[in-house]
Amino acid sequence: MVVYLLSLLSVLAYIEETRRRRFWRRLRPLLRRPATWAGW
């Protein structure tokens, strides 16, 4: 039971990490060019 919970937590952490990495990959070009912020 404990092993199952730990594996579930690790899977959730992995998904969150990949989502965050994808988010930063999208956000970094916007941060590089401040002119694009005015487009918002």
Q: Please indicate, yes or no, if residue 37 is contained in any of the structural domains.
A: no
Distance between CA 18 and CA 22 in Å, rounded? 6
Number of domains in the chain: 1
Distance between CA 37 and CA 14 in Å, rounded? 30
Residue with the larger pLDDT of the pair 34 and 27:
27
User: Residue 25: its pLDDT value, please?
Assistant: 83
Mean of pLDDT values over 20-36: 76
Token pair listed for 4: 């199952």
Q: Please indicate, yes or no, if residue 12 is contained in any of the structural domains.
A: yes
- Residue 16 belongs to what domain range? 2-30
pTM of the model: 0.49
Q: Please indicate, yes or no, if residue 39 is contained in any of the structural domains.
A: no
Q: Please indicate, yes or no, if residue 10 is contained in any of the structural domains.
A: yes
Mean of pLDDT values over 21-38: 73
pLDDT digits (tens, 9 = 90+) for 11-23: 999 989 888 888 8
Q: How far is CA 24 from the centre of its chain?
A: 6
Mean of pLDDT values over 5-10: 92
| CB crowding 17-33: b at 16 or more within 10 Å, else e | eeeeeeeeeeeeeeeee
